[in-house]
Amino acid sequence: MAGLGAKTLMFVLVATLATFVKADFKKNMIVTWGKDHIGMTGDNLRLVLDKSAGSAIRSKVAHMFGSVEMLIKLVPGNSAGTVAAYYLSSTGSAHDEIDFEFLGNATGQPYTIHTNIFAQGKGNREQQFRPWFNPTTGFHNYTIHWNPSEVVWFVDGTPIRVFRNYEKEGIAYPNKQGMKVFASLWNADDWATQGGRVKTNWTLAPFVAEGRRYKARACLWQGPVSIKQCADTTVQSNWWTSPSFSQLTPSQLTRMQTIRDGFMIYDYCKDTNRFKGVMPPECSKRQF
C-alpha cells in the first residue's frame, strides 16, 4: 500500500471489514470431525451420522455482527436421537454462542426447532418451536441476524425470536468476541428426543442432513479492534448498524407473533419452576 494517502489507506482498511462469503463450502469451511462422513462440493453440503461417527464443519474465519444464512434439509423418516446443529460460537469457558438445533423425532412426529443464546459463557435461554412445514422434504432458510442492538432468528424469512441488547442494565450480550459458523450432525439420544426416552435406531443409519447456499454477510473479526470497528455506525459497509435493523417492522412483528402463538412449545422465560421463581432479568424486558 506504499504511496497511499492517509484517507485512502483508511478507506481500504475499513472496506475489508465487511465480508461476503457465499456458497462454496469447501473453500470457506474446515472439517472438525467425521472427515469420512462429510461431502462438500460447491454450494452443497452433506452431513452423515452412523454408529461409528457423526460429522461437523466450521468456518475458516470469525465474524462480529452481520447476517449468516443456510438452506438446510433435515434427516427424513425416523430421526429420533439425532441432532442437526447450525450455530455461531466463539471458544472458551466464557464463550458467546447463538444456536439453531434441530432435534429429531420418531417417524410421523414433528421435529423440535431448538434455539439458545450464550453471552460470556451464560446460556440457559432456550426457546423451542414445532416447525409449521416439513423440514425434511425440501430446503428451508435458517438465518441468524446479529447486530449491536439485537439477535434475530429467522426461518424462511420469518423472525421467530429476538434477544435484545440490555448490556447497560447488567445483562450480558454477545458483542466482544468474534464467532465462527458451525454445522454438525451427531447422536444425542440421551436427551434429544422426548427427554432421552426414545433412542437412535441404528438399523436405519446412515442418517443424512444437507445444506446449500451458505452465505455470511458479516464483519470480519480481526481481534479486539473489531469490537469497535464492526459496531461503528459511521462506516457505510456496516449495514447491520442501520437503525432499520435495530427493530423489526410491524409486518415482521405480526408474522413472528403468529408463529410464537401457534408453534412455540417452550420458553425459558415462562419456566418458573426451573428458576425457582427468580427469573433471568431479561425476561422482564421488552425483546421485540
Residues involved in catalysis: 97, 101
Q: Residue 185 in contact with residue 47, Cβ under 8 Å?
A: yes
Cβ neighbours of residue 218 closer than 8 Å, sequence gap 6 or more: 18, 19, 21, 63, 64, 65, 66, 67, 68, 146, 240
Using CA of residue 224, residue 125, residue 149, residue 71, what is the dihedral sign? positive
Buried b / exposed e across 4-42, counting CB within 10 Å, b at 16+? eeeeeeeeeebeebbbebeeebbebbebeebeebbebee
Transcribe 75-90 into DSSP letters. Answer: PPS--TTEEEEEEEE-
3 state SS of 148 = coil
Omega before residue 224 within 30° of 0, cis: no
Between the CA atoms of 170, 256, 156 and 66, what dihedral angle is there, to the nearest 10 degrees?
-30
C-alpha cell at 95: 464463550
Question: Grid coordinates 466450521 are at which residue?
Answer: 58
What is the C-alpha R_g of the chain? 20
Q: How would you classify residue 42: left for phi > 0, otherwise alpha for psi between -120 and 50, otherwise beta? A: left
